[in-house]
């Protein structure tokens, strides 16, 4: 059965897309720890990031860096934090979080952001993606 993130990347479940290519998909985390919290996934389903091939791992990180560059431009922040956990969804995903303070990356403190604001944030990041 396809993972929820595969369904999102295939457009079968809605998401706030910020970037994509033939191998990757980036979208806003539905319960962000900070505004602009993005998840970057490989389209190929693999639970554990360290089980990706060398090429898949490198491609994912290079794609995530491009998304981070867009995030830095779209969301005022000191830098973009990176985390990989995967304790909830068994499909590799890189968390990118705009940081202004250490507390912005507290994964025990999720936020709810109104749909209109989520759409605005996603559009702002997408507009900066190169
Ligand atoms: P992890 O697997 O890294 O521990 O956490 C999974 C992350 O995916 C969480 O931050 C959670 O909010 C996010 N998430 C789970 N389900 C969905 C979903 O259906 N859509 C989106 N956009 N994010 C999700």
Looking at ligand 1, which residue's alpha carbon is closest to its atom 18? 30
Is residue 37 part of the annotated active site? The answer reads no
CA 87 to ligand 1 center in whole angstroms: 10
Report how far ligand 1's centroid is from the alpha carbon of 30 (Å).
6
Residue range 64-78, pLDDT digits in tens: 999 999 999 999 999
Top mutation candidate among 29, 48, 81, 97 for ligand 1, by most atoms within 8 Å of CB: 29
Q: Does the pTM of the predicted model rise above 0.85?
A: yes
Q: Are 56 and 72 in contact, with CB atoms under 8 Å apart?
A: no
Kindly provide the residue ranges of all beta strands, DSSP E only, lying in the chain, ordered along the sequence. 17-20, 24-28, 38-42, 79-83, 94-99
Distance 128 CA to ligand 1 centre (A): 23
Q: Which of 9, 11, 39 is the best mutation target for the ligand 1 pocket, counting ligand atoms within 8 Å of the beta carbon and taking the most?
A: 39
**And the tokens for 105?**
């990356």
Plot region of 46 (φ>0 → left; ψ -120 to 50 → alpha; else → beta): beta
Q: pLDDT tens digit string along 31-68?
A: 999 999 999 999 999 999 999 999 999 999 999 999 99
């Amino acid at each position: 059965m396809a993972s929820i993130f595969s369904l999102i990347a295939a457009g079968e479940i809605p998401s706030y897309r910020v970037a994509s290519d033939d191998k990757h998909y980036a979208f806003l985390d539905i319960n962000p720890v900070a505004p602009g919290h993005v998840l970057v996934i490989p389209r190929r389903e693999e639970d554990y990031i360290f089980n990706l091939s060398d090429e898949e791992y490198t491609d994912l990180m290079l794609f995530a860096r491009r998304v981070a560059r867009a995030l830095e431009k779209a969301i005022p922040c000191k830098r973009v934090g990176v985390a990989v956990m995967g304790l909830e969804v068994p499909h590799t995903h890189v968390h990118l979080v705009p940081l202004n303070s250490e507390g912005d990356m507290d994964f025990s403190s999720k936020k709810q952001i109104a749909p209109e604001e989520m759409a605005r944030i996603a559009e702002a990041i997408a507009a900066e993606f190169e």
